[in-house]
Chains A and B, each alone.
Chain A
Amino acid sequence: MNDYLVLRVVTKLLMPFILLFALYVQFHGDFGPGGGFQAGVIFASGFILYALIFGVENAESILPDGILRSGMAGGVLLYAGVGIVSLLMGGNFLDYSVLQHDPVHGQHLGISVIEFGVGTTVACVMITVFYTFARWKG
């Protein structure tokens, strides 16, 4: 592992930027191109890069299976939860306009929370898929 000095250093340098870019794509999604799917995949690719260079065991110590599994489920629940909240506040399912007094603010809030849910689920699923195949000793 110590042989690949260049790879290790470059990975360490790139990691924060990849994750930061993922967050940018995530939270900029309601103004410009971006959103949960893309952000989730970029975030996951940062981790997969880390796992490729430093080994799956090290990556697992940061994001263990339990957290990933909860993240997968939690993201979907967040999405559906927003829908239920908008139901309870008198709108239709996923009608963000009722979330706040001003419909425009409501739409902003709704789409941001939903995309965050999507991003969480996508990132966790992608990392889990990678772990599952990488750990396979068949």
Chain B
Amino acid sequence: MDIVGLYNYWIVIFLMMAGFYVVIARGNLIKKLVGLNVFQASVFVLYISMGKVTGGTAPIIAEGITNYSNPLPHVLILTAIVVGVATTALGLALVVRIRQAYGTIEEDEIHKLDDDS
């Protein structure tokens, strides 16, 4: 089994787990969003590296080019990136509103405020 040759998957797995860990372990709402972004970025890398063809060029038609990378995963992930941007913007907007309503963006403090009221 070629462990080093599949390094792109190791990067994906590392990013995925790192992001996932931050989402779960951090109580700060902004840090959670950062973790979520890293988590999503791992999927972008997964898709993009999937489309790579060994020795392939950019998928633009030109003379003498027969071997080119698969453009479809790139297009798909462009959509996913846009979705990610929208999610981040919405998440940040919610955090701003939460901060306005509660005066804090720490999860445990918010829970405490909710329990008191």
Contacts and interface: CB of A to CB of B under 8 A. Distances in A.
B58 A132 contact: no
Interface residues of B, number: 10
Given A132-B93, A133-B92, A138 B99 contact: yes
B96 A129 contact: no
Interface of A: 32-33, 37, 122, 129, 132-133, 136, 138
Would you call the interface of chain A mostly helix, strand, loop, or mixed?
A: helix
Contacts of B82: 37, 122
A129 B89 contact: yes
Contact of A138 (B58, B89, B92, B96): B96
Contacts of A122: 82
A73 B82 CA distance: 17
Given A37-B82, A129-B89, A136 B96 contact: yes
Interface string B89-116: 1001100100110000000000000000
B34 interface: no
Given A37-B78, A37-B82, A133 B96 contact: yes
B60 A138 contact: no
Nearest to A38: B78
A136 B92 CA distance: 12
Contacts of A32: 60
Given A32-B60, A133-B93, 13 more contacts: A33-B58, A33-B60, A37-B78, A37-B82, A122-B82, A129-B89, A132-B93, A133-B92, A133-B96, A136-B96, A138-B96, A138-B99, A138-B100
A122 B81 CA distance: 13
Nearest to B100: A138
Nearest to B82: A37
